[in-house]
Structure 1
C-alpha cells in the first residue's frame, strides 16, 4: 500500500476513528485502525466491537492495499505535523511496518495483519430514512444530559429513539431518564421511519454521533434494525449495537395534572440558580424555590458553609408554593431552553415538575423534587 493524503483530511479521518478505540484493550488489534486504500480514496475503520466507524478521505493511491496501525499513535503523529503538509503512507508487507512521511519528518510504525481486524457483521435494517443534521442534533443534544450512568440499570444508559404519537400525529421521539429527571424531545416523522423498531442508542454512540452533526446542510441517512443502528454521511458511517433491554414506560412519569404555572426568563433563572448554589454542599446541592404572586425566591441554606438568596420577577398567579430541587438538575434542564422563557408546571412540593420552552410541547422535561 502506498498513498499520499492532505494532512487536514488525514487528521479529520483519524480523529473520528481513534475516539472510538478503547484506551485499555485486552485484544491488541482493537487498538488499531484499519487503513484500506483503493482507487482515489482511503478508508479508516475503527471498532470497539460495539461501535464501528468508517471514515473515507480523498487520497492519491499509488498502490492499493490494507493494513492496521495503532490509532492513537497515528493520530498523535498527524496532529503534530504542520498544517498543509502532504503525508505519505507506505506499507511494506515484508517488514510488517508502515512509514509515515511529511516534509523532513519520518516515522516507522508496527502493524498487525488486516485479516485479524474484526469487521462488524452487516445487518438487515428494517427502516431506512433521512434526517437533516440539525433535527438529529436537537433530538440527541436536548435528551442526552438525562442518560443514566448507573450500570446496574443498563437499559437507561442510552437514548430511546422510537416512533410515538405526538399531539399532532406521529413523531420521531428521543427519551432519556435516570429516574431523577427525564427529557422527551419530538421531531417530525421522516418518510420511511414509520416501521422503525424502538431502539436504545448507547451513551458512547450518542457522543460519537454528535461529531457527525455539525454541518447544518448535511442530510444523515439513518438505518435501524432490532439490534443495530447506523448513521451515515457521504464520508462517515457510524454503526452501533443497540442496548439489549426494554426501556421503561416513561409516559407514566410525565405529569398531566400540573396546573400551577411559572414562567421565567430561562437565562436569568439559570444564572440565579448557579449563583445561589455556590454556597451549598456539593453532596446535595439543594435549591429551594419559594413562589408567590409574580415573585420567585431562590435560596440555599448550607449549615457548613453559609446561606444565599436571590429574588426574580416572574409570571406566577397561583397559590404560594415552596419546593426544592437538585441544583445540578435544574441547571441542566434550564440550559436546554433555546427560547427566552421557560415554563414550569407544578402540582405540589412532593410531585414531579414539568418544564418546557414557552408553549412548545415538542421538548418536555420532568424533574423530581427534593426535600429541603
Structure 2
C-alpha cells in the first residue's frame, strides 16, 4: 500500500473513526484503525466490536493495499502536522510496519495483519428508510437525557426507536424509571413494519457527533440485531441492545386535568437557584401551586432553606408536589417556547410536561416526597 493524502481531509476522517476506539484493549487489533487504499480512495475503519465507523476520503493511490496501525497514535501524529501538509503512507514489503512521510517528518508505526480486523457491518439489513439529519438530531436531543445509566437494567441503556402504526409516526422513547422522554416525527417512507429496536447510549452520542451540522438525509438501515446510519462517505454500524423495552405507554397518564403554565426561562433559573442548598443526592424541590403563583421551596436540615415565588397560570385546586431539581432543569432545557406546560393529577401521580409549540414531544416526571 502506498498513498498520498491531504492532512486536513485525513484528520477529519481520523477524528470521526478513532472516537470509538477504547484507550485500553485486551484485543490488540481493536486499538488499530484499518486503512484500505484503492481506486482513488482511502477508507478508514475503526471498531470496539459494538460500534463500527467507516469513512472514505479522496487520495492519490500509487499502490492499492491495506494495513492496520494504532488509531490514537496515528491521530496524534496527523493532528500535530502543519496545516496544508501532504502525507505519504507506505506499508513496507513485510507488512509489519507502516511508514508516514510529511515534509521533513518521518514516522514508522507497528502494523498488525489487516486480515484479522473484525467486520461488524456484515449481514443483511432488511429495513431501510431516509430521515433528514435535522429530524434525526431532534429526536435524539429531545430524549437522550432520559437514558438510564443503571447497568443492571440494561434494556433502558438506550433509546427505543419504533414505528407507531396507529399514529403513522416514527417515535423515540427513553426512560430511566424516574422520568420519560418521548419524541416523534411523521413516519418516513420505508419505516413502516420495522421492528422496535433499542439503540445503545454510546451509539446515540456518536451519531449526534458524526452528523453534527450535516444538511440533507441520513440513510437508516436495520435488522433485529444491528442498525446502520450512513450519509455520504460516512457509515456507522452498531449492535442493538438485545432486550425488551418496557410498555412505556402504561406510565403516561391520560387524565391529568390540572394545567399549570409557567415562563420557561424564569422557571428553570428559579429551580437552579433554590436547589443550590438542597442535598445533592435528593435535590428535591417542592412546588406549592395555587391561585396564580407557584412557590418553589427547598428545605435542607443541614444547611437551611430557600423559597422563590413565580407567577403562573393555574385555575385548579391547590396542590403541593415535589420533583428532582435536575430532572426539572433537564426537561426545561428541551422546551423551546417561552412557556412550559404541566399537566398534573395529584402529589403522588406522574406529571406530564409539554412544549406548547411542539406537539411531537412530551415528558413524564415521577414526583418525589418532600
Cα root mean square deviation, aligned: 1.3
| Matching residue of 2:75 | 75
CA distance in 2, matches of 1:199, 1:161: 5
Whether 1:331 and 2:329 are equivalent positions in the alignment is yes
Pairwise mapping of residues 14-29 of structure 1 onto structure 2 (< 5 A)? 14-29=14-29
CA distance in 1, matches of 2:55, 2:25: 22
Whether 1:363 and 2:364 are equivalent positions in the alignment is no
The answer to whether the 8 A contact 1:212-1:233 is kept is no
Pairwise mapping of residues 65-214 of structure 1 onto structure 2 (< 5 A)? 65-94=65-94, 96-165=96-165, 169-214=167-212
The answer to whether the 8 A contact 1:52-1:239 is kept is yes
TM-score (norm 2): 0.97
CA distance in 2, matches of 1:309, 1:62: 71
Q: Which moved more, 1:262-271 or 1:207-216?
A: 207-216
Deviation, 1:165, is 4.4
Within the candidate set 241, 252, 260, 1:243 is matched to 241
Deviation, 1:94, is 2.1
Q: Cα deviation per residue 1:166-190 (whole Å; 9 max; x = unaligned)?
A: 6xx3100000001000011011100
CA distance in 1, matches of 2:146, 2:119: 32
CA distance in 2, matches of 1:294, 1:313: 6
Secondary structure of residue in 2 paired with 1:112: coil
Q: Which moved more, 1:309-318 or 1:228-237?
A: 309-318
The answer to whether the 8 A contact 2:341-2:355 is kept is yes
**Aligned length, in residue pairs:** 370
Deviation, 1:102, is 2.4
Q: Cα deviation per residue 1:74-114 (whole Å; 9 max; x = unaligned)?
A: 11112222222222222113261112222232221111010
Secondary structure of residue in 2 paired with 1:330: helix
Q: Cα deviation per residue 1:339-360 (whole Å; 9 max; x = unaligned)?
A: 2221111110111110110153
Secondary structure of residue in 1 paired with 2:168: strand
Whether 1:288 and 2:286 are equivalent positions in the alignment is yes
Secondary structure of residue in 2 paired with 1:187: strand
Q: Which ranges in structure 2 are unaligned for 5 or more consecutive residues? A: none
CA distance in 1, matches of 2:153, 2:4: 47
TM-score (norm 1): 0.96
Whether 1:54 and 2:54 are equivalent positions in the alignment is yes
The answer to whether the 8 A contact 1:128-1:223 is kept is yes
Secondary structure of residue in 1 paired with 2:277: coil
CA distance in 2, matches of 1:266, 1:93: 65
| Matching residue of 2:320 | 322
Secondary structure of residue in 2 paired with 1:37: strand
Say if 1:318 and 1:216 are closer, same or farther in 2 by CA, change over 3 A. Answer: farther
Q: Which ranges in structure 1 are unaligned for 5 or more consecutive residues? A: none
CA distance in 1, matches of 2:58, 2:336: 38
CA distance in 1, matches of 2:123, 2:187: 23
| Matching residue of 2:222 | 224
| Matching residue of 2:296 | 298
Secondary structure of residue in 2 paired with 1:328: helix
Q: Which moved more, 1:97-106 or 1:281-290?
A: 97-106
Q: Cα deviation per residue 1:222-245 (whole Å; 9 max; x = unaligned)?
A: 001111111001111001111111
The answer to whether the 8 A contact 2:352-2:362 is kept is yes
Deviation, 1:216, is 4.6
Say if 1:236 and 1:121 are closer, same or farther in 2 by CA, change over 3 A. Answer: closer
CA distance in 2, matches of 1:337, 1:358: 9
Pairwise mapping of residues 336-351 of structure 1 onto structure 2 (< 5 A)? 336-351=334-349
CA distance in 1, matches of 2:4, 2:125: 36
The answer to whether the 8 A contact 1:132-1:216 is kept is no
The answer to whether the 8 A contact 1:171-1:189 is kept is yes
Say if 1:344 and 1:91 are closer, same or farther in 2 by CA, change over 3 A. Answer: same
Secondary structure of residue in 1 paired with 2:119: coil
